[in-house]
Structure 1
Amino acid sequence: MNKPIIGVPIGDPAGIGPEITVKALKEKSIYEECCPVVIGSRDAITKALTVCGLKSELDVVQSFESMNPSPDKIYLISEETVDTCKIEYGKVQALGGEAAFNYIKKSIDLALDGKIDAVVTTPINKESLKMAGVDYIGHTEIFAGLTNTNDPLTMFEVGSLRVFFLSRHVSLRKACDMITKERVLDYIIRSSKALNMLGIKDGTIAVAGLNPHCGEHGLFGDEERHIEAAVEAAVRMGYKVVGPIGADSVFYLAYKGRYDAVLSLYHDQGHIATKTLDFERTIAITIGLPFLRTSVDHGTAFDIAGTGKASHISMTEAILTASKYSQSYRHR
């Protein structure tokens, strides 16, 4: 098969993961780019089809080579270690966390074995994982732990805008303290290599500023001196990087094509830029794993799980993004 095979673990069955999966797999555009394979329980997929008012043939995969993908058929890697019939929609529960973890683990095994070319993840619930005794707090930690990957990078992509993050889930106060020459330089190097892994050669990275107007030479803060020193060091090493560039303009300039990516200095700085541009089409990409992983950038939406109301736009984009990069992605 010439098209990449994309594995889709369905996430927590108590959430909207199964629903957005079956909806997305009705989109003809997906089959022009890849062959999707769902990883989860038959019961959860069947229920999702019912609540969404959809019909698709379920075909348990016997041979990857013989698949003939279409919007009327869902290829399934059946993972039945948890009785999903006992899982209630919209509730934090250990069974949901256990099932979600098992589906992810199966997708990782398939990717490491070379059976699938990339993984697209659907929402899981951190509390459910904890109730199930899973020692990882979230998706990225699971993938890093089960593949022995040290600190993989997160990149957001929406349209032509790509954003890396110097820090993620820490307080704003701590994020400011993490802006050192050494850390910024390290992330410039890692982000440059990540672009190369995605097939973007000689990409230019812009580093966002932290303070208003990049501090106006110390009038509004002096953190930019660390950024400037890191950028200068990276340029001497041969990396294509500029900055700091004021955060009120750098994301727009990158979106318009001046830069190939932006290094955001903290979680919300980059999240606000991408999600304001297009919330539903903002896709998270994990780079540094032995295989490519993309993900929707929203949660389990327990409040509407089981109603069929959940939008599948982000899921469709996540699959298409995985298809776009999976065959050029090169693990270093």
Structure 2
Amino acid sequence: MTGASPVVISMGDPAGIGPEIILKAWSQRRSGAFTFVCVGAAEVLRASARQLDLPPPVEINSLAEANSAFGTGLPVLAAPLRLEVPAIAGRPAARNAACVKACIEAAVGLCLSGEASALVTAPIAKSVMYEAGFSFPGHTEFLAELTRDHGVDGPRGPAMMLAGGGLRVVLTSIHEPLAQAVAGLSAPRIEHMARLTHAALRQDFGIAQPRLALAGLNPHAGEGGSLGREEIEIINPAAARLRAEGISITDSLPPDTMFHAEARAGYDAAICLYHDQGLIPVKTLDFHGGVNITLGLPIVRTSPDHGTAFDIAGQGLARADSLLAALDAAAEIAGHRA
């Protein structure tokens, strides 16, 4: 175990697969290169460990105890709030949303204080959180609010990067209807995301001269205007302004030809214009190991690229691949920032 600050994981929804995959990740990495700690409900993790026939988690009082505990069991910092009702796998309860939210807040606080090197968030169920009055579209926006009074070294996010299978994509629009994403397409948005991605590739990934690819919106990137004029009027002018700033970025590329292996070799990240344009190629290349990385925050944050999977929770079927990849990405990015 290194002496570096540990990575901290917020438990996510206790009725989902979060507790299971966190314990499985610990089981596979108990002798790994870095330590990680879960902020969550110890009783849920204990029950999951019994079901998985794994050593019980080790409750700790501070992150200073994490390294010595890690070889024995998953280190757990107790959630700041207790669960209001017992967690039952596959049956989410809105009454437990306050505990889930408090775990995220505590984990963010540990990163802001420097006690933790990075944050990995296990999945939450937004619909359940909304029932309890959660007012943010998702994790990303909540983390941006929690860290808004802290400066960043570069453009301010948040932006969503998805990585997997050797591909990184950054989205200019995230969870919104496709018609709304198209209507909201703008050159300033594209330029901001490209600048943010350029800065993150240098700071977080150690790429001295990042190369960006820019996806078109329309089939064949508009076919010279015959299939749409967004490329001519919005997208390519934005790319030209970015190149004038010294950022290496292509004009709009046909989305159907920019993600095969030969094309991917020509860039370090792709700027995509709507959710599925970026997520389909990443999930096709690495369905189980994709990682969600938030750019432009003062803390390092990654998460598995999947949801709570209530349908298989508590059955021992969940795979920890994406969480393991998220942990590795978090540690790598923290190392680059350090």
| TM-score interval for Structure 1 and Structure 2 normalised by the shorter chain | over 0.9
Tell me the CA shift for residue 85 of structure 1: 6.0
Say which SS state the counterpart of residue 251 (structure 1) adopts.
coil
Q: CA RMSD in A?
A: 2.1
| Residue 187, structure 1, aligned to residue 193, structure 2 | yes
- Which residue in the other structure is 1:20 paired with? 21
- Which residue in the other structure is 2:250 paired with? 242
- Which residue in the other structure is 1:176 paired with? 182
Counterpart among 280, 299, 303 of residue 288 in structure 2: 280
| Residue 132, structure 1, aligned to residue 132, structure 2 | yes
- Taking the aligned partners of 1:57 and 1:295, their CA distance within structure 2 comes to 21
TM-score by length of 2: 0.91
Q: 1:56 to 1:5 in 2, by over 3 A?
A: same
Tell me the CA shift for residue 276 of structure 1: 0.7
Matches within 5 A, 1:218-297: 218-225=225-232, 226-253=234-261, 256-297=264-305
Is this contact kept in 1: 2:164–2:286, CA < 8 A? yes
- Taking the aligned partners of 1:107 and 1:172, their CA distance within structure 2 comes to 33
Tell me the CA shift for residue 137 of structure 1: 3.2
Matches within 5 A, 1:1-332: 1-28=2-29, 31-62=31-62, 64=64, 67-68=67-68, 70=70, 72-79=72-79, 81-83=81-83, 86-148=86-148, 151-198=157-204, 199-225=206-232, 226-253=234-261, 256-329=264-337
Q: 1:317 to 1:18 in 2, by over 3 A?
A: same
Tell me the CA shift for residue 50 of structure 1: 1.7
Say which SS state the counterpart of residue 188 (structure 1) adopts.
helix
- Taking the aligned partners of 1:231 and 1:31, their CA distance within structure 2 comes to 46
Structure 1, 44-53 or 85-94: larger mean CA deviation:
85-94
Tell me the CA shift for residue 244 of structure 1: 1.0
Say which SS state the counterpart of residue 107 (structure 1) adopts.
helix
Amino acid at match of 1:106: A
Amino acid at match of 1:228: N
Is this contact kept in 2: 1:166–1:184, CA < 8 A? yes
- Taking the aligned partners of 1:286 and 1:123, their CA distance within structure 2 comes to 14
State how many pairs are aligned: 329
TM-score by length of 1: 0.92
Tell me the CA shift for residue 159 of structure 1: 3.3
Tell me the CA shift for residue 327 of structure 1: 2.0
Q: 1:317 to 1:182 in 2, by over 3 A?
A: same
Unaligned runs of 5+ in 2: 150-155
Tell me the CA shift for residue 145 of structure 1: 1.2
Structure 1, 35-44 or 182-191: larger mean CA deviation:
182-191
Tell me the CA shift for residue 263 of structure 1: 0.1
Partner deviation per Cα, 1:239-295 (whole Å, 9 max, x = no partner):
111121111122225774210000011100001010011111110001111110000
Is this contact kept in 2: 1:161–1:274, CA < 8 A? yes
- Taking the aligned partners of 1:66 and 1:286, their CA distance within structure 2 comes to 25
Tell me the CA shift for residue 57 of structure 1: 4.8
Amino acid at match of 1:48: S
- Taking the aligned partners of 2:336 and 2:131, their CA distance within structure 1 comes to 38
